[in-house]
Amino acid sequence: MSDQSAVVKAAPKGIYVAGEWRDASGGGSFAVEDPGTGKPLCEVADGQADDARSALDAAVDAQADWAATPPRERAEILRRAWQLMTDRADDLALLMTLEMGKSRAESKSEVTYAAEFFRWFSEEAVRIEGRYAQNPAGGSRLLTMKQPVGPCLLITPWNFPLAMGTRKIGPAIAAGCTMIVKPAQLTPLSMLQLTDVLAEAGLPPGVLNVVPSSSAAKTVGPLMSDPRLRKVSFTGSTPVGKSLMEQASKNLLRVSMELGGNAPFLVFGDADIDAAVEGAVVAKMRNNGESCVAANRFHVAGEVAVEFTARLAERLGAMKVGHGAEEGTQVGPLIDADQRDKVGELVDDAVGKGARVVTGGSAVEGDGYFFTPTVLSNVPREARILTEEVFGPVAPVTAFGSEEEALALANNTEFGLVAYVFTQDLRRALRVAEGLQTGMVGLNTGLVSNAAAPFGGVKASGFGREGGTEGIEEYLSTKYVAVSLS
Ligand code: ADP
């Protein structure tokens, strides 16, 4: 307990502008809750539109010097921040568990994953290149250079409180952009703690400004029409993403959108079933299913559906549910009562339409927002759970006949973030990977997230890529200089 109160006490609770912590204008605050107990952890400054404007003022003031800072210096700051996060992983993980719910082991892997974006982009910062070419007609030369896009607004969700931030902050720092971060209301503490880490790593004042708030639209909305802002990068729900796109159009902002998913998990008759079950546990249960890349629906070849379902149910049914900070917990609570109730509603809808509960199926009574890991079989096509993002530990299984049918089922969604495919047939694997309307495919694996790879979607899952060599491009503009030699 003392560890727990110590990490909460140590975390900053204010608004961070121009290198200083301050109270919200008006002095208000909002409560951050532990979803494992339903009880408040602490109060955090409730940023207002005035605070967001001060944050943009600071970002604008810092932009020119930051863009002129040698790439190697920007890289070293990121590298030091990676080291500090690695050294402090236990405390960062505990803080994350307390505000978000996931088990300490899962929080620890998120800290590693989140820090990895800093290490990766420290290596990218020194590889921002242009080109010098001959005019095909001869005579003149064509010179291109990459420059930072300018001050950015970065809006992050609650499900990965650090990693969704570092995959934006890392490339922005590497590219030479300044920024305002608006962390999720439900989980601001990890981001506030990270802010201190970046300051300690040597990030100059004004480069990163952080404005927690309980009223996102009112607080950051005015920034969207301020011509000094040049980019918005958002991770969250598709409706909010669409609204931000509309606002961004008025100011013609550069936009990156990482929105909802509805990932299909395809198991073909020729799959290695051990690998498919293992992959399914990861794709479904990582982050308790509260992930845009979580497998949302399992489409399994008829000949292996019974075996796959039974083995998946055995694995999920054996997982230990509990407070994320307790030793041995594998499945923590959902983020809040609304999320727990929505998961219950989708399960009830499927069961009402004829699905069978193989394991789990209900919320856990008592404090906190727990839901038992659940496997549903014989899920009818009209069940809402097959088309809506469940964001919880529920695996609905349906059987398919042919490869064409599997692909059609997989693509039958407005979303297009990721799909998982299990098959041992190389030709089928590539055929299906090419046919899937998604930005990412997990081929015989349930985990695609990797700082070195381009993460992102198509269709209603958004556009833009985070991580990989693509990630920094989101924060760079290309300038072309026509050079006359005569
Ligand atoms: P989720 O369902 O994951 O909470 P949201 O899209 O509601 O997803 O929220 C993701 C992030 O976007 C959070 O930081 C939230 O505060 C912020 N947000 C929500 N609505 C708006 C808005 N209208 N303008 C700007 N940010 C918003």
Distance 278 CA to ligand 1 centre (A): 33
Distance 184 CA to ligand 1 centre (A): 7
Mark whether 191 and 127 lie in a shared domain.
yes
Q: What strands, in cross-sheet order, belong to the sheet with 131-134?
A: 131-134, 141-148, 476-483
Distance 2 CA to ligand 1 centre (A): 33
Residue with the smallest CA separation from ligand 1 atom 24 is 217
Residue 332 lies in a domain: yes
Residue 486 lies in a domain: no
| SS3 annotation, the chain | CHHHHHHHHHCCCCEEECCEEECCCCCCEEEEEECCCCEEEEEEECCCHHHHHHHHHHHHHHHHHHHHCCHHHHHHHHHHHHHHHHHCHHHHHHHHHHHHCCCHHHHHHHHHHHHHHHHHHHHHHCCCCCEEEECCCCCCEEEEEEEECCCEEEECCCCCCCHHHHHHHHHHHHHCCCEEEECCCCCCHHHHHHHHHHHHCCCCCCCEEECCCCCHHHHHHHHHCCCCCCEEEEECCHHHHHHHHHHHHHHCCEEEEECCCCEEEEECCCCCHHHHHHHHHHHHHHHHHCCCCCEEEEEEEHHHHHHHHHHHHHHHHCCCECCCCCCCCCECCCCCHHHHHHHHHHHHHHHHCCCEEEECCCECCCCCCCECCEEEECCCCCCHHHCCCCCCCEEEEEEECCHHHHHHHHHCCCEECEEEEECCCHHHHHHHHHHCCCCEEEECCCCCCCCCCCECCEECCEECCECCCCHHHHHEEEEEEEECCC
Residue 456 lies in a domain: no
| 323 touches 288 (CB < 8 A) | no
> Helices 189-200 and 71-87, interaxial angle, to 10°?
130
Residues spanned by the domain of 269? 263-451
User: Tokens 């999920």 identify what position?
Assistant: 316
Mutate which of 240, 244, 247, 291 for ligand 1 pocket (most atoms within 8 A of beta carbon): 240
Mark whether 102 and 203 lie in a shared domain.
yes
Average the pLDDT over 360-369 and give the result.
96
Q: Which atom of ligand 1 is nearest to the CA of 235?
A: 10
Residue with the smallest CA separation from ligand 1 atom 17 is 216
Query: Which residues, 6+ apart, have CB-to-CB distance to 57 below 8 Å?
Result: none
For residue 486, name the pLDDT band (cuts at 50, 70, 90). confident
Residue with the smallest CA separation from ligand 1 atom 7 is 237
Residue with the smallest CA separation from ligand 1 atom 9 is 236
Mark whether 412 and 330 lie in a shared domain.
yes
Give the integer Cα–Cα distance in Å for 346 and 18: 45
Mutate which of 152, 155, 211, 244 for ligand 1 pocket (most atoms within 8 A of beta carbon): 155
Average the pLDDT over 136-144 and give the result.
96
Distance 237 CA to ligand 1 centre (A): 7
Give the integer Cα–Cα distance in Å for 206 and 11: 20
Domain count, the chain: 2
State the catalytic residues. 258, 292
Mark whether 234 and 309 lie in a shared domain.
no
Average the pLDDT over 25-47 and give the result.
98
Q: Which atom of ligand 1 is nearest to the CA of 159?
A: 3
Distance 393 CA to ligand 1 centre (A): 22
Residues contacting ligand 1 via CB (< 6 Å): 155-158, 182, 184-185, 216-217, 220-221, 236-237, 240, 243-244
Residue 204 lies in a domain: yes
Mark whether 468 and 436 lie in a shared domain.
no
440 phi/psi in degrees, rounded to 5? -145, 150
* Pairing label, strands 356-359, 374-377: antiparallel
Q: How do residues 154-189 score in pLDDT, each as one tens digit? A: 999 999 999 999 999 999 999 999 999 999 999 999
Average the pLDDT over 184-208 and give the result.
98
Distance 255 CA to ligand 1 centre (A): 15
Residue with the smallest CA separation from ligand 1 atom 4 is 157
Average the pLDDT over 12-30 and give the result.
98
Residue 120 lies in a domain: yes
CATH number at residue 106: 3.40.605.10
Long-range contacts of 455-458 (CB under 8 A, 24+ apart): 455/167, 455/258, 456/258, 456/417, 457/258, 457/259, 457/261, 457/415, 457/416, 457/417, 457/418, 458/416
Give the integer Cα–Cα distance in Å for 462 and 242: 9
Q: What strands, in cross-sheet order, belong to the sheet with 394-400?
A: 356-359, 374-377, 394-400, 295-301, 263-267, 418-422, 440-443
| 145 touches 483 (CB < 8 A) | no
CA 393-330-12 angle, to 5 degrees, is 95
Average the pLDDT over 34-45 and give the result.
98
Residue 104: half-sphere exposure toward Cβ, Cα within 13 Å: 14
Convert 221-257 to b/e letters by CB count within 10 Å (16 or more is b). ebbbeeeebbbbbbbbebebbeebbebbeeeebbbbb
Residue with the smallest CA separation from ligand 1 atom 15 is 184
pLDDT for 2 beyond 70: no
Distance 187 CA to ligand 1 centre (A): 12
Mark whether 420 and 473 lie in a shared domain.
no
Q: Which atom of ligand 1 is nearest to the CA of 247?
A: 24
Mark whether 361 and 466 lie in a shared domain.
no
CATH number at residue 328: 3.40.309.10
Mark whether 245 and 114 lie in a shared domain.
yes
Q: How do residues 382-432 score in pLDDT, each as one tens digit? A: 999 999 999 999 999 999 999 999 999 999 999 999 999 999 999 999 999
Average the pLDDT over 99-103 and give the result.
98
Nearest C-alpha neighbor of 346 from the set 380, 385, 382, 375: 385
Residue 317 lies in a domain: yes
Average the pLDDT over 263-283 and give the result.
98
pLDDT for 243 beyond 90: yes
Identify the pLDDT of residue 70. 98
pLDDT for 1 beyond 70: no
Residue with the smallest CA separation from ligand 1 atom 19 is 216
Mark whether 139 and 281 lie in a shared domain.
no
Q: Which atom of ligand 1 is nearest to the CA of 221?
A: 24
Residue 126 lies in a domain: yes
Chain mean pLDDT for the chain: 97
Mark whether 107 and 226 lie in a shared domain.
yes
Mark whether 338 and 224 lie in a shared domain.
no
Mark whether 167 and 79 lie in a shared domain.
yes
